Amino acid sequence: MKLFVWLLLFMMNISGGFYCFATGNKPSVAGTPAWVSMNKIDYNNTKLDKEATDGYVDISYEKQILLAEQSCYYKESKRILSQAGVQNASTISIDYNPAYEKLILHTIVIIRDGKILNQLHLEQIEVLQQEKELSSFIYNGSMNAVLILKDVRKGDIIEYSYTTKGFNPIFNNKFSSVLQLGFSVPLYQYYCRMIVANGRKINIKNANYNQQPTITQQPNNQVYEWQKKDIGPITTQDYLPSWYNPFPRVYLSEFNSWKEVNDWALPLFPKGVTLSSDLQKKIKEISDSNQTDANRIKASLRFVQDDIRYMGIEMGVNSHKPANPSKVYAQRFGDCKEKSYLLCCMLWAMKIDANVVLINTDKTHELENTMPSPLSFDHATVRVKLGNEYLWFDPTIAYQRGAVNNIFFPNYEKGLVLDVTTTSLTTIPFKDLSYAKVIELYQVASLSGSGTLKVITTYMGNVADAQRYDFNNESIADLMSNSQKFYANSYEGIKADSLTFTDDENTGIFTTFEYYTIPHFWKNDKPTIKKFSFGPDVINGIFVRPKDRERTMPFRLSFPARYQEEIVVTLPEPWQVTESETHISGNFHCYNSHFYCTGNQVHLDVSYQTTHSYIDSSEAERYFTDLAEFDKSSNYQISKGDTGDVKKENGNINLIIFVITLLLVIGIIIFIRRQS
């Protein structure tokens, strides 16, 4: 009985704890704070309505910040234009992080025919676990307050305001933010206000925006204001590089330099942390079984990449502060900063120089044009010194193989190396280790039978890493099915027979072997003519094909990309074709092809390499000219007619002959009519 009572009290205590946690996350209701500036909103402006999407238009957006109280006030207004707008805008959803933020609701109303209908009923608001990044294995504890509005109609104006109070304490009360002043949808009124206590310095940097804020001096504060009206939508083009941002924005930060950001981040990754006995045992095992630092680095990297799965619990300060490396080792999971820190701790224990490096995976070189701030980074990697050489590693990339100085590192371009000597961003050299060689061997025994295809592909660098990942995460059956679909676009009825691979862990070379049966090798234009079409299908898939050809914005290329594709068609008897070559080169890519015949084998040797990650709008016309040249010269056809002739045809030649013949016929008809 005593045990039962103790267990009951324990469960009540646990339940009570969870109840307090849950109710503590609920939003509260209060009046608009006295420090907030109230602005008049023009609800009757309609000149941007025609540019709205999703059936509603944003009328007003306000953000007001009181730094001293760590408070951010928001107010949004939108007008419903159609039934689609009723569907798309009738749910109010507010994100907040209860680890450090409180959500305070002020107003939720519907304005209809000049009447204000109150919709703020706290009991109708559901608080849901948000976790937008859970699909990326990131759990940050964010919540989502949701209210589904009732009786919303076309013409209604939905308006709501709220305050979030509390900043993430990991930033030591230093403020950073980015104000977005342009959008992909129209907005009639934008207003931002920031109240900064005297003595606090806010650094401001504009991007695609040339107006400075209005600054007003109060007795104890400086007030910054940004206002814009009738903001039209910005239309983006396709295939934009990740670093390219056409939207006007303003960077705000209390950090004065990258050195200050480094000095803030460095204590988060201390060198003197005590390691558990289990982790120390693992480090000793790696150190004793590898006689050189190069092999110790490789073994440590492989362990962290492959045995510590990627998963981040990033609640509160853990958004930027890594968990203890002993904990990460014991639980066998961690996010990028935790995997990087664990790797550094292992190397430090082996007296190997290493640093955590903060990265922005999207901004790359544009990172230098942002404002120094912890918010400028979204990733962590590692730099290791081996002899006189710096090696760069991303511990979140699994299944990397090869020599330690030939491990692929993405083209991040810029990073903040956390070190006592760091004063600025570091330019990260890029080593292009990407390479794939595809050999496609077609064979046919007769002019009426089926054929076979054998594909041998050799991968190095990041493409080898990607193949290892696929073979470790997908079944051979699924991989065969995907490969069969790829070739089915060209050869009807093709069947994948087998797929095998070899993986050389010392060189990092990954090789696949694919075997196919092509039941209908030859196609008949006429009963007496046989033809077979082929081309560099793999390289064709590497060419980027933007739909927006009149470019005002840059577009990205497949980079790094270095491919070689060799096609050999073995025929039942010796044939002859006209030898040809194609060479395309520019500032951003290089393409070469050689078509020829030896005995009963027809050969096509093709190579393609991109030398830049993007193309500026000023060079777009040249790229599309090159793309047209590739399309014109990359499709090949061998055929044999009843006369015994064999020929190679460009993929577009039949169309050209047809057009010329048609023009000649029309000309003859016109000539005859004029003569008559």
pLDDT digits (tens, 9 = 90+) for 75-132: 999 999 999 999 999 999 999 999 999 999 999 999 999 999 999 999 999 998 765 5
DSSP type of residue 670: H
Q: How large is the angle between the packed helices 277-289 and 336-349, nearest 10 degrees?
A: 60
Q: By the 8 A CB rule, do 339 and 389 touch?
A: no
Assign a CATH topology to domain 20-254. Immunoglobulin-like (2.60.40)
Mean of per-residue pLDDT scores for the chain: 90
As a whole number of angstroms, the distance between CA 492 and CA 514 comes to 17
Higher local confidence (pLDDT), 162 or 21: 162
C-alpha dist (Å) from residue 563 to 459, 546, 589, 632: 9, 21, 12, 20
Residue extents of the structural domains in the chain: 20-254, 263-427, 435-449+521-654
The arithmetic mean of pLDDT across residues 8-19, rounded, is 34
pLDDT in tens, 616-628: 999 999 999 999 9
- pLDDT confidence tier of residue 643, bands split at 50, 70 and 90: very low
Please check the confidence at residue 501 and state whether its pLDDT lies above 80: yes
Token pair recorded at residue 254: 């209390």
CA atoms within 13 A on the CB side of 386: 18
Q: By the 8 A CB rule, do 423 and 372 touch?
A: no
pLDDT at 136: 54
Give the DSSP letter string of 561-576: EEEEEEEEEE-SS---
pLDDT in tens, 337-373: 999 999 999 999 999 999 999 999 999 999 999 999 9
Give the DSSP letter string of 466-491: HHHHHHHHS-HHHHHHHHHHHHHTTS
- pLDDT confidence tier of residue 658, bands split at 50, 70 and 90: very low
The number of angstroms, rounded, from the C-alpha of 45 to the middle of its chain's C-alpha atoms is 38
Of 95, 69, 290, 41, nearest to 166 by C-alpha is 69
Assign a CATH topology to domain 263-427. C8orf32 fold (3.10.620)
Please check the confidence at residue 418 and state whether its pLDDT lies above 70: yes
Token pair recorded at residue 350: 């082996």
Please check the confidence at residue 59 and state whether its pLDDT lies above 80: yes
Please check the confidence at residue 19 and state whether its pLDDT lies above 90: no
pTM over 0.85? The answer is yes
Task: Tell me the one-letter amino acid at 516.
Answer: Y
The residues, ordered by sequence, that sit 6+ positions from 279 with a Cβ below 8 Å of its Cβ are 325, 326, 329, 330, 345, 346
pLDDT at 401: 96
The number of angstroms, rounded, from the C-alpha of 40 to the middle of its chain's C-alpha atoms is 40
Exposed/middle/buried for residue 173 (C-beta within 10 Å: 0-12, 13-18, 19+) = exposed
Q: Span 435-449+521-654: which CATH code?
A: 2.60.120.1130
